[in-house]
């Protein structure tokens, strides 16, 4: 599709359309009848837990995979940001940049030679400024690289950022990106947001980065399972939150109203509809008149009972599900010795952590930040007693510690989620299904069949049930849906014990109202 023009690309931005896409892997259906319309100027964010189908949808839109059913209409000029750099092992940074700028330079040559049919593309690509803009993109993404440097010498993060830079230099009519802020620091992420807002074409991006979604997106599509399929929300992440809060309020109100009506109907069927005037003393009416009146009342009673029973049956069959109870953390603090939760002095893990002093109060809220390799995860593992360290690590006597680690390691994953939960927390705790973290249809599935997001929900459920007095969360927003992340963060503010969170999440960090510890590489 696209207009005729001198360059082998469409001259104007074109829409990206998906119709009733279905995609399954083995016996698991990831996408079932998903449709998407993305027009030029719209920047659509795909949200949902890992396993919801975000990356799968991007691959189908890009043509990297074919759907089992449905079809995709895409512009010829499309860029996909999760592909490996398609260059030989001995290629250089300059080779990548030359390829990214090839169309812009061709447009310059065509216009300078008098080819008026290339003017539209020349303007679309802002081709006159492409080389200068390329250097700005490299600097903005933190890529101070020798152009002669072989790609084989770059780290994975550098290769990812170089691929992203090449896409921004190309300015394709449709740009598809999968978790583009991975490996980006705050400045580089802000630069990327600015660049994407300037693109005239279609942008579709899968991301867990809430700050990024809020800064870039004009629409959000929630791919987490729902009765009516994926839900599209207008606006950025802040708008999404407002809409979700309003939806929750309506859900709660509808549930309350229906429960009130059910109580009235049940009482009506059992009592009220049968309390009728013919049960009163007859008085002085003639017998014939009383018999006529009684028959009419009997008919009215029968109709009332029948109508009430019919409405009751309908409502009991179709009533809205009870809204799940919001996530909460509980802890019994009285069975531990008094005093701070933890005290660390001169703690050292060679090559991983160097910390002179840290005190954590019984009700402390501590956010641990720092670059990759600064020791955030190491510190949490030391506090949890999973990693030995030099120096002094003192935990309050009787302190219950719970850790949500980044890497999910569940023993004997062939067991069902219900069995794993029961074995970990014991039979006396709240049932797994009552926590609202694992759907009833999934509690008896083997853990091996659960997605990464579902396994992380299971770990979180076991943590909630354990009621830790020192709660340690390592990158808690990874792999969870935005809705659950918001619920988790709200629960942290009311947790009765101490909370230590290690995170690079910009949205979480901006809203944190407790202490902050910034670690530096040892």
- pLDDT value at position 7? 41
The band of 349, judged by pLDDT with boundaries at 50, 70 and 90, is: very high
Q: Is residue 33 part of a domain?
A: yes
Asked if residue 193 lies in contact with residue 217, where contact means CB atoms within 8 angstroms, the answer is no
The C-alpha torsion from 417 through 419 and 425 to 431, rounded to 10°, is 70
* Separation between Cα atoms, residue 384 and residue 120, nearest integer Å: 61
Rounded average pLDDT over 126-133: 90
Q: Is residue 511 part of a domain?
A: yes
The band of 277, judged by pLDDT with boundaries at 50, 70 and 90, is: very low
Indicate whether 276 and 225 sit together in one domain.
Answer: no
Rounded average pLDDT over 212-222: 97
Q: Is residue 35 part of a domain?
A: yes
Task: Phi first, then psi: give them for residue 13, nearest 5 degrees.
Answer: -55, 140
Indicate whether 472 and 355 sit together in one domain.
Answer: yes
Indicate whether 274 and 381 sit together in one domain.
Answer: no
Facing residues of 206 across strands? 46, 178
Q: Is residue 2 part of a domain?
A: no
Which among 216-230, 234-248, 315-329 has the top mean pLDDT? 234-248
- pLDDT value at position 291? 53
* Separation between Cα atoms, residue 463 and residue 424, nearest integer Å: 10
Q: Is residue 498 part of a domain?
A: yes
Task: Phi first, then psi: give them for residue 493, nearest 5 degrees.
Answer: -70, -20
Q: Is residue 227 part of a domain?
A: yes
Indicate whether 216 and 274 sit together in one domain.
Answer: no
Q: What one-character-per-residue DSSP string does 351-376 give?
A: TTEEEEEEEE-TT-EEEEE-STTSSH
Rounded average pLDDT over 56-72: 95
Asked if residue 29 lies in contact with residue 22, where contact means CB atoms within 8 angstroms, the answer is yes
Of 392, 252, 405, whose CA–CA distance to 322 is shortest? 252
Q: Residue 225: which CATH number?
A: 3.40.50.300
Which among 32-41, 337-346, 456-465 has the top mean pLDDT? 32-41
Indicate whether 46 and 161 sit together in one domain.
Answer: yes
Is 335's pLDDT higher than 70?
Answer: no
Indicate whether 229 and 259 sit together in one domain.
Answer: no
3-state DSSP assignment of residue 387: coil
Q: What does the block give as tokens for 130?
A: 């492409």
What is the edge-to-edge ordering of all strands in the sheet holding 401-404?
Answer: 401-404, 470-474, 498-502, 365-369, 515-518
pTM of the shown model: 0.83
3-state DSSP assignment of residue 57: helix
* Separation between Cα atoms, residue 322 and residue 436, nearest integer Å: 11
Of 167, 6, 191, whose CA–CA distance to 80 is shortest? 167
Indicate whether 388 and 514 sit together in one domain.
Answer: yes
- pLDDT value at position 109? 93
Is 474's pLDDT higher than 90?
Answer: yes
Total domains present in the chain: 3
H, E, C per residue of 466-487: HCCCEEEEECCCCCCCHHHHHH
- pLDDT value at position 298? 62
Q: Is residue 169 part of a domain?
A: yes
Facing residues of 175 across strands? 79, 203
- pLDDT value at position 88? 87
Higher pLDDT pick, 261 / 220? 220
List the beta strands (DSSP E) in 13-136.
16-25, 28-38, 43-47, 69-73, 78-80
Please return the burial class of 19, using the count of CB atoms within 10 Å of its CB with bins 0-12, 13-18 and 19+: middle
Query: Hunting for tokens 């016996």 — which residue is that?
Result: 27
Instruction: Kindly report the number of other CB atoms within 10 A of residue 467's CB atom.
Output: 19
Indicate whether 472 and 372 sit together in one domain.
Answer: yes
- pLDDT value at position 452? 81
Q: Is residue 243 part of a domain?
A: no
Indicate whether 396 and 470 sit together in one domain.
Answer: yes
Range of the domain at 69: 16-235
Is 470's pLDDT higher than 80?
Answer: yes
* Separation between Cα atoms, residue 38 and residue 42, nearest integer Å: 6
Helix 130-140 crosses helix 186-198 at what angle (to 10 degrees)? 150
Indicate whether 392 and 494 sit together in one domain.
Answer: yes
Q: What does the block give as tokens for 507?
A: 């949205």
Indicate whether 352 and 306 sit together in one domain.
Answer: no
**Half-sphere exposure (Cβ direction) of 157: Cα atoms closer than 13 Å:** 10
The band of 273, judged by pLDDT with boundaries at 50, 70 and 90, is: low
Indicate whether 288 and 159 sit together in one domain.
Answer: no
Is 8's pLDDT higher than 50?
Answer: no
């Amino acid at each position: 599709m696209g207009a005729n023009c001198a360059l082998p690309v469409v001259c104007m931005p074109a829409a990206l359309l998906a119709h009733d896409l279905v995609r399954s892997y083995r016996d698991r259906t990831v996408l079932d009848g998903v449709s998407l319309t993305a027009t030029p100027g719209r920047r659509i964010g795909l949200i949902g837990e890992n396993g919801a189908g975000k990356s799968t949808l991007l691959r189908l839109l890009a043509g990297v995979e074919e759907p089992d059913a449905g079809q995709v209409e895409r512009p010829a000029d499309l860029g996909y940001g999760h592909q490996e750099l398609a260059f030989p092992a001995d290629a250089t940074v300059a080779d990548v940049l030359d390829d990214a700028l090839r169309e812009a330079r061709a447009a310059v040559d065509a216009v300078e030679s008098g080819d008026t049919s290339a003017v539209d593309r020349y303007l679309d690509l802002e081709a006159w400024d492409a080389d200068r803009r390329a250097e700005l993109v490299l600097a903005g993404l933190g890529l101070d690289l020798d152009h002669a440097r072989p790609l084989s010498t770059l780290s994975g993060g550098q290769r990812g950022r170089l691929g992203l830079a090449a896409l921004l230099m190309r300015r394709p009519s449709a740009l598809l990106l999968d978790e583009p802020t991975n490996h980006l620091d705050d400045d580089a992420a802000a630069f990327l947001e600015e660049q994407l807002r300037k693109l005239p074409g279609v942008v579709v991006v899968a991301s867990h980065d809430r700050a990024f979604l809020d800064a870039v997106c004009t629409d959000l599509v929630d791919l987490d399972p729902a009765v009516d399929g994926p839900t599209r929300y207008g606006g950025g992440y802040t708008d999404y939150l407002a809409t979700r809060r309003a939806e929750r309020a309506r859900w709660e109100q509808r549930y309350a109203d229906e429960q009130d009506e059910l109580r009235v109907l049940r009482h009506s069927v059992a009592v009220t509809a049968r309390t009728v005037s013919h049960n009163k003393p007859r008085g002085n009416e003639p017998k014939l008149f009383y018999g006529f009146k009684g028959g009419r009342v009997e008919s009215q009673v029968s109709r009332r009972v029948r109508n009430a029973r019919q409405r009751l049956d309908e409502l009991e069959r179709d009533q809205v599900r009870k809204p799940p109870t919001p996530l909460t953390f509980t802890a019994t603090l009285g069975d531990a010795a008094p005093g701070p939760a933890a005290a660390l002095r001169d703690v050292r893990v060679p090559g991983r952590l160097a910390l002179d002093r840290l005190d954590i109060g019984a009700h402390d809220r501590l956010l641990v930040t720092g670059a990759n390799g600064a020791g955030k995860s190491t510190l949490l593992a030391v506090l949890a007693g999973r990693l030995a360290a030099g120096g002094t690590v003192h935990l309050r006597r009787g302190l219950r510690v719970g850790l949500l680690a980044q890497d999910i390691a569940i023993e004997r994953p062939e067991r069902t989620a219900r069995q794993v939960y029961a074995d970990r927390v014991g039979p006396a705790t709240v049932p797994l299904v009552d926590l609202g973290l694992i759907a009833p249809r999934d509690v008896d599935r083997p853990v091996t069949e659960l997605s990464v997001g579902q396994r992380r929900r299971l770990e979180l459920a076991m943590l909630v049930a354990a009621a830790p007095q020192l709660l340690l969360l390592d990158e808690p927003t990874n792999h969870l849906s935005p809705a659950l992340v918001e619920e988790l963060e709200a629960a942290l503010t009311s947790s009765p014990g101490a909370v230590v969170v290690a995170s690079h999440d910009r949205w979480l960090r901006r809203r944190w109202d407790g202490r902050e510890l910034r670690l530096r590489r040892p």
